[in-house]
Structure 1
Amino acid sequence: MMSNFMASYKLILRELRKISDKDDFYFKPIVPKLSDIELISLIILAEFKSIDSEYQLFRELKNTELENKIERSVYNRRKRKLFSYMEQIRSKMVDAFNEFENYFVVDSMPLEVCKLSRSNRSKICKEQDYALPNKGFCASQNLHFYGYKLHAVCSIEGVFQSFDLSPASVHDIHYLKDIKLQISDCVLLGDKGYLSQKVQVDLFTQASIELETPKRKNQKDYKPQYYQFKKYRKRIETLFSQLCDQFMIRRNYAKSFEGFKTRILAKITTLTTIQYINKFVFKRNINNLKVNLV
């Protein structure tokens, strides 16, 4: 088991080193034993193995060559500092997949930070005024919740192109204002929550994005959505299910917003890394995520 853990770690590290042009990303007065790229590989491996607590991770590191390379108190601090660099690595992997992609799917999912009954006295994620959690409603799950929404765009192959977090009360359609800065010249498939003539015209004129949503039955020019588009839209729902099931995205141990967003990015980066290794190393189905890497 331990040799499998280290072999998986070395495989992830080798692939990340091919993507990244350096091992350390920011200045540190004392050079650490574990480089930044090695730390990112460890974060990705922990998420892949569904090791969701630091205590458990550091138990796994006992009797391995990583045991004395990093202290638990430093791990989390460095993990948060590596947020933007982790996103750069993820973007490079995504470019390898989605360079010639013409169809994308947009959707959102709720991310609770605590139960509604505790929301008034909860101090979680309240240290930043620009990103306070609040109460919202998820129509697809008929669920009132307290926290954030994860908005995401993925290709029909199943690779997350981009994502963002917003407080729970923010309507899905507001995310589309940011999308035109990230993708262009493509078809974007969404559910009825993204239905808006004004946004549709804006996306097409600004970035040549054709927004395709199913029409409501009481609309004047109603016709059923093309069957293949319905099938494509299921792709992002499957990805969200995988994030909830294997990567336990709904389980929150973070106390600050910095910690919360870093956890979410780590889980999505891990999913993309496994897809990348499946395609470019093992030449197998990219969405076969519950496999042993070695």
Structure 2
Amino acid sequence: MFKKLCISLIFSNLVVIKLLSSNHRMHNLYTKFVKFLEICKQFSNKFVNEAGNIPRRGPVSKFSELEVVALSLAAESESIDSENWLFESKLKGYKCKIPNLISRRQFNDRRKSTAGLCEKIRRQIAMAIDGREDFFFVDSKPIEVCRVARGRRCRMGRTGDFSQTPDFGYCASQNTYYFGYKLHAVCGLSGVIHSYDLSKASVDDRKFMKDVKLVYHYCNMYGDKGYIGADIQLDLFETAHIRLECPYRVNQKNWKPTLIPFAKARKRIETLFSQLTGQFLIIRNYATMTNGLFARIIGKISALTVLQYVNYINNKPIGRIKYALN
């Protein structure tokens, strides 16, 4: 009797181990790195050579620039926002599988230099998902650098271009003041971010529309109450044939209630901001330099787009990025 019980326990444990290994195979950081590298190679033929590096003179690193981008995206997909934690803990058991792995300091420097390549790949992926959209949503999100009380002492961006330094701003939706930047984003009806930009926290949302009209033409855009302005709407329509629609304020003349389909559709960009906050930790900032913060944000948004593409090719809802690689 005891022998049969032991055999049954061993068999059940083997079944559980097999199920866990099959169901959680994509929780391996190396497996995700290989998957991201495969997708990056698919969309980077125009930008890199066969070795995965940007064509230029000088010595060529064995760990290619495309691998740096893929490792950055894999880390962001697992909510790893600390490079020290990535190299000291997560990559410790995979150094034999990645023989040419660079050091943490080299990865930090090359991550900043490859931010432009990462953004080019992201644009190609976004166009592959929904490149024929003519309905877009625009919104902004505060990116806090430090607490308001420490804003005067913050040294980020003080040594470089003054236009890129953080500033004090006010978020009307959260009814709070903050010190940092403001992330402006434009997403399509399917929920893919097509373009984005960072500005000072004190910059008005409507100023971002001056850059939008240089890229988008003959389309409809929907924003919140922060984009209300007859002059802005008229200028967008006359220069780029962009029809900007915003909900009315209660005290406006000719007030009309917000249409329910419009309110539901606008939740797509708010959902994207929630995913960037929850899974990709975009509001947690460990960067001390402006270019480092910009590189991190580019990596987080690019990782979000790649996970959406994985769902897209697998015929799944692209918004379920948390389980895209399971």
Could you say which TM-score interval applies, normalised by the shorter chain? Answer: over 0.9
Alignment partner for residue 56 of structure 1, among 85, 107, 124? 85
1:178, CA displacement in angstroms? 0.5
Matches within 5 A, 1:153-232: 153-232=186-265
1:39 to 2:39 alignment? no
Q: CA deviation at 1:138?
A: 0.3
Query: Residues 130-149 of structure 1: CA distance to partner in whole angstroms, max 9, x if unpaired?
Result: 21111010000001000100
Verify: 1:287 aligned to 2:319, yes or no: yes
Query: Equivalent of 1:7, from 31, 41, 56?
Result: 31
Q: 1:265 to 1:48 in 2, by over 3 A?
A: same
SS of the counterpart of 1:137?
A: strand
8 Å CA contact 2:26–2:325 kept in 1: the answer is no
Gaps spanning 5+ residues in structure 2: where?
Answer: 1-24
* Cα pair 2:156 2:165 within 8 Å, conserved: no
TM-score, with normalisation over the residues of structure 1?
Answer: 0.95
Q: Which one-letter code corresponds to 1:132 in the other structure?
A: T
Displacement of 1:218: 2.4
Residue 245 of structure 1, aligned match among 278, 285, 291: 278
Offset, 1:292? 5.4
8 Å CA contact retained: 2:140, 2:182: yes
Q: State the AA in 2 paired with 1:13.
A: L
Number of aligned residue pairs? 293
State the alpha-carbon separation in 2 of the partners of residues 163 and 2 from structure 1: 29
Offset of residue 67 of structure 1: 5.7
Gaps of 5+ in 1: none
Matched residue SS, 1:119: helix
Could you tell me how far apart the structure 2 residues matched to 1:266 and 1:2 are?
A: 20
Deviant stretches of 4+, over 3 Å: none
* Residue pair 2:29, 2:75 contacting (<8 A) in 1 also: no
Counterpart residue number, 1:118: 150
**1:30 has 2:63 as partner:** no
Q: Distance in 2 between matches of 1:166 and 1:155?
A: 21
Does structure 1 retain, via aligned residues, the 8 Å contact 2:129–2:312? no
Structure 1 residue aligned with 2:137: 105
8 Å CA contact retained: 1:126, 1:257 = no
| 1:60 maps to amino acid | K
2:108 is matched with which residue: 76, 80, 90?
Answer: 76
| d(CA) in 2 for partners of 1:250, 1:149 | 11
User: Residue 168 of structure 2 aligns to a residue in which SS?
Assistant: strand
- Structure 2 counterpart of 1:267: 300
Q: How far apart are 1:225 and its partner, in Å?
A: 2.3
Using the size of structure 2 for normalisation, the TM-score is: 0.86
Percent identical: 42
Query: Structure 1 residues 33 and 3, CA, compared in 2 at 3 Å: closer, same or farther?
Result: farther
Task: Tell me, in whole angstroms, the C-alpha distance in 1 between the residues paired with 2:238 and 2:172.
Answer: 30
Q: Greater shift after overlay, 254-263 or 4-13?
A: 4-13
Do residues 135 (structure 1) and 164 (structure 2) align?
no
Distance 1:28 1:262, change over 3 A: farther
Q: Tell me the SS of whatever aligns to 1:63.
A: helix
What's the C-alpha RMSD, in Å, of the aligned pairs? 1.6
* Separation in 2, partners of 1:28, 1:226: 57
Residue 100 of structure 1 deviates from its aligned partner by 1.6
> Displacement of 1:277 after TM fit?
1.2
Write the distance in 2 (CA, Å) between the matches of 1:67 and 1:57. 16
Q: Distance in 1 between matches of 2:289 and 2:111?
A: 13
Which structure's CA Rg is the greater one? 2
Distance 1:63 1:271 in 2: 26
